Amino acid sequence: MPHQRFQSDTIKPRYSKGKISVFGINSVYPRTPWIAAWWAASFPGFGHMYIGKFMQGFVLVVWELIVNGKAHLNIGIALSFQGRFDEARAAVDQDWALLYVAVYAYSIWDSYRCAVEINKSHVLSEIEDAPVAPSEVSFFDVVILDKKHPWLGMVWSALSPGLGQLYGGSTIIGTFILAWWIFVAYKAMAIRSWLYSFLGDFAGATAVVDWQWFLFMPSIYVFAIYQAYTSVIENNTLFDIEQVRFLRVRAENLGQHEPADNGTVQMIATFDHSSFVEMAIHDLEKLGIPSRQIVALPVENLECNTHVIDSIHQVDGRSILDGAMMSAAIFAVLGAIYGFIWYWGPIIWGLIGLAGGFVLGLIIELIFHKGKLKFTSGKKTEVIIEVTCSADMQTRLVQIFKLRKANGYVIIPRAVGSI
């Protein structure tokens, strides 16, 4: 039967919450400014990409690869950490190094500044209650805002940087990271070094690697994993925000009230935020239940603990993996540097540094957040759907709730003459 449809993207907001397009998904998500500054210090451009300013991030990443390469800064850094200071000074091209300083400092400063401004814009978009179009269909792609697993984005980027971004719906970002990862790995001779390392030829693994290009890889690898994780969290949060607004606007437009019909029952079902919520409402309307008798209410959950890992349905955006991933990046770089002089070579020591740094950073975060966190977020009800219908429709409603993945339901008989 025909049912009323509610548009969520007909208003042009002054402060947008997010955008879904063929190029990917981006949102005005509140991000920690000092984390943005740290990623910019780790690799110019990463701080801007972390806060969603991808175009500036692309420019600064390309600049870093070109100017750092011409100045041989990575070689100078590696030799300095090994105590070979005279060789480090001789290796660095001072003309190119002087060009490097101003842009490097700008990258750190501007990423911090932009993170602060984006946080302000987020607050204003919440005040304005700006709508978001949850899908975009074009000749090239079908982009749908849906819920995904943050940890799955991490796994795909761990297998190959860029894949986690493609999984999260960021086509351009994923393509950029994947292309640069392949290019840098090729220039560094990393794949051959990897092969030699796992065959036990550590001398060959060290000899074949190009130091200058190889030392880009730890930062790129760790950031790709971290950014894939955080971007999926942000997209999941944007989905929740958009659906909460849709349900609230739906209730306001219908002017819902509880009818006083005799011989009816109330059925209440609980759901997580997902596309199944809207499918369930549509299915109920198709059964002939008036829209006013289908009340969908988003739940304001009171849990506020910090979690180590966010999941597809339980997202708080304050995972303590921030510190763990930053520590992993630092120790992966150090492991690769000293791997050039240690027996197992840069690949093995880089991976050891990655794993050891992650564990160390996580332990430090756990100490600072002792008693304030859980390993994972608990199961929460996010949407309640209340349906008033005739008693003979109960079985069909239960089938719909099961089909649309309701967490559970309850049937409340209504007494004759009750209101």
- Express each pLDDT in 255-304 by its tens digit: 655 544 556 778 888 888 878 888 888 888 888 888 888 888 777 654 54
Q: Which amino acid is at 1?
A: M
Q: Report, as an integer, the average pLDDT of 44-63.
A: 91
What is d(CA 254, CA 293) in angstroms, rounded to the nearest whole number? 10
Q: How far apart, in Å, do the first and last CA atoms of the chain sit?
A: 27
The residue type of 78 is A
Range ranked top by mean pLDDT from 40-44, 130-134, 201-205, 287-291: 40-44
Check: pTM over 0.75? Answer yes or no: no
For 26-92, give the secondary structure using H, E and C: EECCCCCHHHHHHHHHHCCCHHHHHCCCHHHHHHHHHHHHHHHHHHCHHHHHHHHHCCCHHHHHHHC
The per-residue pLDDT of the chain, averaged, comes to 78
Mean pLDDT within 44-53: 91
Supply the pLDDT for residue 69: 85
With 0-12 / 13-18 / 19 or more C-beta atoms within 10 angstroms meaning exposed / middle / buried, residue 135 is: exposed
The helix-helix angle for 171-188 and 54-71 (nearest 10°) equals: 10
Could you count the other beta carbons within 10 Å of the beta carbon of residue 285? 17
Q: Is the pLDDT of residue 418 over 60?
A: no
Q: What is the reported pLDDT for 304?
A: 47
Length in residues, the chain: 419
What integer pLDDT is reported at residue 247 of this predicted model? Answer: 78
**Between the CA atoms of 276, 278, 282 and 284, what dihedral angle is there, to the nearest 10 degrees?**
70
Count how many Cα atoms sit within 13 Å of the Cα of residue 110 in the half-sphere of its side chain: 16
Give the pLDDT band of residue 23 (cuts 50, 70, 90): confident
